Structure 1
């Protein structure tokens, strides 16, 4: 339970007011519930013809003796005036009034708890999504996408259905039990002491039964992450699955994961469904023993504990049976929820290495030069960049070429701080990028990648993605620069046409031109192009290349290219090999050197 309260301390504070009101209403609900049962004592005494007559009214005080004496005084007066059979309707009306107050305060208490439950779940979802956006790209290279999705969706739902659904019980039930026990003590101290011995034994048995549920729940949630990962990979690679007739292979993989999940969930659910019958059986044992012991006390000589009081006592005790049984269900639920919370915390507590320093500098524009100074970087033990230095002047086009895996993409990813350098420094106009506000730094840049990343939205919203309040005129102008206006206008709803999931309704060249239009509209000082034409056919490449030239005009550009023909006009070409820049110069200069670039060029022109 310590872990449960830690979770509450993290998420409950914004809802303290609702929590206090829920507590107050639950106290009133419990008090009037017990008072309603006390009103039944005179009814039973009438039925048993053992009405208690009191002829003297004492001074009103907040003591049990004074309240009981004066209540029976008024009952006696009413009986003497209207007869004994009129007492039952009178006490019945008081019982109904107390019950009405009881259920009303119960509703008000639950009303407040609903606000807490839904608010906490919303806050949790917002925190997870904010953290997913804030985490560096390196986090996702170490995690399965399906598992991350499972934590952000299924595990949050599990917390909602377990921990948050138990919140009402855990606020209300202890109050009901404490208040009821207080009234039980006032009726019979001896019998209540006996209850105190029996209930903890039942609670200990239930606790031992649910001990392993948390571990099994954690395993089941991890397996659900694997299942979602397989679904995501299969749908994303469906073209390859079908092309290689690999449907059976994917089915076998999915069937194994589904079977593993079923097996562990059988254990979890069997342990979980044991909670109710176990608590009911133990509760029945307690009631049977209590009735036997209470009957013994009530029939003892010189006992002031009569039959009517015993029935009322059982009524009050009955009010704590359900809360006590619900504790066992809540305990099992919480164990499942805590397992889900541990998985969620792998996201919420993940280390975000892309930190912004206090007093980070605001940057509005790029004026002179970008400098890489002795930059080194690696993933785990693998060194990708080794002591790389390069200066990029404003307005120049710098091309990066070389074999796959030579460090080109990592080199450009360090500039917007998708990763942080491990050695050396990168400066813009003499200011280290780690001393700048991350938002401002990335605001200087526009990206066009090899894979055009579009969202399942309209042409207009995809182009205007990085610019707030963009006008129709601005979007159309950007589309014209990117050679995208004609095919957008020819679509069914023009700029309001949906492009499909990841732009699936468009060709590769069309997707890339939308991506370029998005960069044009942003109008960045620094443009990063990562293999923007490598996956296109000749005709599409020609149109995209023209759009890129329009985009790069008089703009600082860093271009990654495998096709050397697309960068022959670059001001500077850098040849990467095994994490180092081995050659630098113009197209003609590098050809004249007869080195790595010259060999790459010969291979491509054959």
Structure 2
């Protein structure tokens, strides 16, 4: 019960802005109070049972002591024991009484230990989703070409990918676009080997990812996610998380490549500035640049950009996109995107729909097909063309339908 109350408290604190947006302080207080009421009930029951044990234990010990001392006194009166014997009996009883007096405390500790052990064994008994095979080798990377070969994957009964096949050649840039729920993010999870496909094979440089170690796979890929998770530590620590043991010079070099060094230099404490819970002291664009610097510092053979700019404003998006393009030059790059304007320069664009690749080709080729990609492009073009939806930077976000972005 106390764990549930603590969870609700942390949840409310982490989402304090949402709580304030909706004037829900009283609601969250009531939720926490409900959880605490359950904790109070359990605490009272625990204390009551402990008190009963202590009272019973004390009564039994007191009665025993009284009987023993009475019998000792009777034997002295009858001449069977001396006063010295009486003192010795009293000393022995006192030595016996002290350990017995701890029985209540030991009982409570044993009960708590049993509960903790049950939780621990329950955690240990949780099935492992992905496990390396015995003696599995590390991934040997030579350029970082990616192959998805007839990949099928489902979350339980919900089928997500249905025979997805594509290749990202060494040093090339391939983008994946499609409606929400089409399976784009699942592809990134399979690439990181958070899951193994139920059918088909995912390969890097010809090696089946299911047959190599997870650690070596993840060491090969640098990711810039849509939602950058940051630790409540310094900005230098968060950047350095990309490669543990990095020197300060390496962290600063990565910051320069991600174009965040000037921002950090203007902070009062520089790289020692604490970013707050989940990076709440930084804007969306600043957090994305930290994520880019973190990925650069990792020095990966493959870059994965998972809708890295979808939540940013148009001007920040363009700046971030330029940084992404610069750092991923000559490296194998897989881009998962919602805004089509960010992928028009990709060597190949894959259009995913209902778990299948329905179209593929360059930006110009897909516009000429007049299929799903063309519909998505037209829809996004219209949304920026409507009055009130143009912030003055639409040309930066949505270039004209050519193979090169508009300047």
**TMscore range, shorter length:** 0.7 to 0.9
The 3-state SS of whatever aligns with 1:414 is helix
CA contact (8 A) 1:531 1:562 kept: yes
Q: Which residue of 1 aligns with 2:68?
A: 290
Q: Which residue of 2 aligns with 1:600?
A: 376
Larger Rg, first or second structure (1 or 2)? 1
CA contact (8 A) 2:259 2:323 kept: yes
How big is the shift at 1:300?
A: 5.7
The answer as to 2:36 corresponding to 1:278 is no
Report Cα offsets for 1:95-140 as digits up to 9, x if no partner: xxxxxxxxxxxxxxxxxxxxxxxxxxxxxxxxxxxxxxxxxxxxxx
The answer as to 2:310 corresponding to 1:534 is yes
Alignment of 1:29-40 (within 5 A): none
CA pair 455-506 structure 1, distance change in 2 beyond 3 A: same
CA contact (8 A) 2:147 2:167 kept: yes
Q: Which residue of 2 aligns with 1:228?
A: 6
Unaligned runs of 5+ in 2: 383-407
Distance 2:245 2:70 in 1: 77
The 3-state SS of whatever aligns with 1:353 is coil
Unaligned runs of 5+ in 1: 1-222
Distance 1:368 1:505 in 2: 36
Q: Which residue of 1 aligns with 2:281?
A: 505
Tell me how many residue pairs correspond in the alignment.
382
Q: Which residue of 2 aligns with 1:330?
A: 106
Q: Which residue of 2 aligns with 1:581?
A: 357
Q: Which residue of 1 aligns with 2:261?
A: 485
CA RMSD of aligned residues (A): 2.1
CA pair 296-488 structure 1, distance change in 2 beyond 3 A: same
Instruction: Compute the TM-score of the two structures, normalised by the length of structure 2.
Output: 0.87
Using CA pairs below 8 Å that are at least 6 residues apart, which structure has the higher relative contact order?
2
The answer as to 2:232 corresponding to 1:456 is yes
Distance 1:328 1:456 in 2: 41
CA contact (8 A) 1:377 1:384 kept: yes
> Which of 21, 36, 40 pairs up with 1:258?
36
Structure that is richer in strand per residue:
2
Distance 1:237 1:499 in 2: 16
Q: Which residue of 1 aligns with 2:201?
A: 425
Distance 2:138 2:18 in 1: 46
CA pair 430-583 structure 1, distance change in 2 beyond 3 A: same
CA pair 473-409 structure 1, distance change in 2 beyond 3 A: same
> Which of 547, 550, 569 pairs up with 2:323?
547
Distance 1:335 1:416 in 2: 42
The answer as to 2:360 corresponding to 1:590 is no
Q: Which residue of 2 aligns with 1:514?
A: 290
Relative to structure 2, which stretch is displaced further, 343-352 or 477-486?
A: 343-352
> Which of 171, 192, 206 pairs up with 1:416?
192
Distance 2:50 2:112 in 1: 9
Q: Which residue of 2 aligns with 1:146?
A: none
How big is the shift at 1:364?
A: 4.5
The 3-state SS of whatever aligns with 1:388 is strand
Q: Which residue of 2 aligns with 1:123?
A: none
Q: Which residue of 2 aligns with 1:176?
A: none
Instruction: Compute the TM-score of the two structures, normalised by the length of structure 1.
Output: 0.60
Relative to structure 2, which stretch is displaced further, 364-373 or 257-266?
A: 364-373
Alignment of 1:297-312 (within 5 A): 303=80, 305-312=81-88
How big is the shift at 1:297?
A: 5.2
